């Protein structure tokens, strides 16, 4: 039985504009700096707390101050995300619902991950109407890195089903180079989709097992997921 693990932001749903606003406000509220996601080259697939700290460092905030105030990030981010999700739209990306229905029909197990927190991720899935498609999940506040989040998702699927998942039967679908690399590093297949901030060429250079411009061709993506 196959297991497909989906990233949320940039893979299932587009909420980039919400994230840009939230990170800007969080950096100002916590560290007193004007900062943006555009201040760092690559952030896709990173835990949200690490992104905030990295931007603060780029803006010249002392490392001791960054560490001392890091505990404020989750609460501030949660409050700002709630407001942002209420005021902004969460758009389900093209082909996503058709693919999820196709996986359900094919009897494929489906899980979801994000570098965001559990509370924020569940709110995003709820706004997108995608919360009922997944047997298990894992998030950025539950593991130290992307590989850890993926391993946790696999572990939870095994607990839910009582089945031992062979790594060859598991794949991650992700819009980030970091996510593709993490999947390959833990021995699962990696499918890239160029619907996030990173370009098709950047994703292709990461050597995924398959790559798509989007998820609209359900049959092709299903074949890639099943290997």
Is pLDDT of 89 > 90?
no
Chain segment 182-217, per-residue pLDDT in tens: 999 999 999 999 999 899 999 999 999 999 999 999
Residue 219's pLDDT band (cuts 50, 70, 90) = very high
What are the backbone angles phi and psi of residue 94, rounded to the nearest 5°? Answer: -55, 135
pTM for the predicted model, two decimal places: 0.86
- Percent of the chain with pLDDT strictly greater than 90: 75
Place of tokens 């993506």: 221
Q: Which two tokens stand for residue 63?
A: 């490392």
Element (H, E) at 210: strand 210-212
CA 193, CA 186: separation in Å to the nearest integer?
19
CA separation for the pair 149, 181 (Å, rounded): 13
Average pLDDT score, the chain: 93
Contact between residue 204 and residue 177 where contact means Cβ atoms under 8 Å apart: no
CA nearest neighbour of 102 among 9, 227, 226, 188: 226
Q: What is the CA radius of gyration of the chain?
A: 17
Q: Over the stretch 111-144, which tens digit does the pLDDT of each residue have?
A: 999 988 899 899 999 989 999 999 999 998 898 7
């Amino acid at each position: 039985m196959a297991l497909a693990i989906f990233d949320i932001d940039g893979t299932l749903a587009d909420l980039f504009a919400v994230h840009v606003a939230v990170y800007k406000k969080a950096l100002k509220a916590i560290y007193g700096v004007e900062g943006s996601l555009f201040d760092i080259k690559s952030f896709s697939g990173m835990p949200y707390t690490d992104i905030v700290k990295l931007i603060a460092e780029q803006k010249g905030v002392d490392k001791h101050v960054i560490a001392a105030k890091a505990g404020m990030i989750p609460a501030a981010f949660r409050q700002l995300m709630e407001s942002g999700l209420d005021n902004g739209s969460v758009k389900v990306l093209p082909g996503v619902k058709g693919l999820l229905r196709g996986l359900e029909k094919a009897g494929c197990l489906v899980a979801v991950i994000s570098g965001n927190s559990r509370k924020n991720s569940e709110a995003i899935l709820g706004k997108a109407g995608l919360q009922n498609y997944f047997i298990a999940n894992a998030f950025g506040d539950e593991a130290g890195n992307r590989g850890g989040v993926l391993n946790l998702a696999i572990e939870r699927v095994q607990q839910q089903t009582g089945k031992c998942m062979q790594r060859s039967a598991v794949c991650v679908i992700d819009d980030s180079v970091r996510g593709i690399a993490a999947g390959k590093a833990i021995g699962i297949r990696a499918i890239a989709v160029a619907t996030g901030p990173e370009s098709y060429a950047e994703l292709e250079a990461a050597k995924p097992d398959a790559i798509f411009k989007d998820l609209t061709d359900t049959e092709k993506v299903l074949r890639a997921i099943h290997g």
